[in-house]
Amino acid sequence: MKISKKQAQQVVRSLKFKEGLVTAVVRELKTKDVLMVGYMNEQALLKTLTTGLMHYWSRSRRKLWLKGEQSRHYQRVRDVFVDCDGDALLFDVEQIGGACHEGYWSCFYRKVRGGKLTPNLKKVFNPKKVYK
């Protein structure tokens, strides 16, 4: 899904950015697996909507980043939903490779069992080989 810059700017103007950010929940289009949660500033959302590829704002690195810029595990946007408050977005994407930088399909690869965090997914790639 791609839209024009003018259309993307209209969408951005309709949202409520708290401290300059909106929450982005990302799920896989076909399986509806929740892959990750990230944050977007206006620039990240504009790039996402106009390129069709997920872009985020890294709070820790204080910079814009394209999902897959190092790993080539891109997220192709297929649909976008906005919550009732206009401060959170839900993206349906086609995930290429794994979404998690730890090597898993989803960042939600751990489950609470008996007070412990236990992996419930298998790795789909080796992060040491991907992130050199």
C-alpha 93, offset from chain centre: 9
pLDDT score of 122:
96
Provide the residue ranges of all domains of the chain, joining segments of one domain with +: 5-130
Type of residue numbered 16:
K
- 3-state helix, strand and coil shares in percent for the chain, rounded to the nearest 5: 15, 40, 45
| Residues in contact with 64: Cβ distance below 8 Å, sequence separation at least 6, in sequence order | 41, 43, 44, 47, 55, 56, 57, 58
pLDDT score of 36:
98
Fold of the CATH domain 5-130: Ubiquitin-like (UB roll) (3.10.20)
Note the pLDDT tens digit of each residue in 57-102.
999 999 999 999 999 999 999 999 999 999 999 999 999 999 999 9
Q: Does the pLDDT of residue 38 top 90, yes or no?
A: yes
Q: What is the pTM of this model?
A: 0.94
pLDDT score of 44:
98
Distance (Å, whole) CA 11 – CA 8: 5
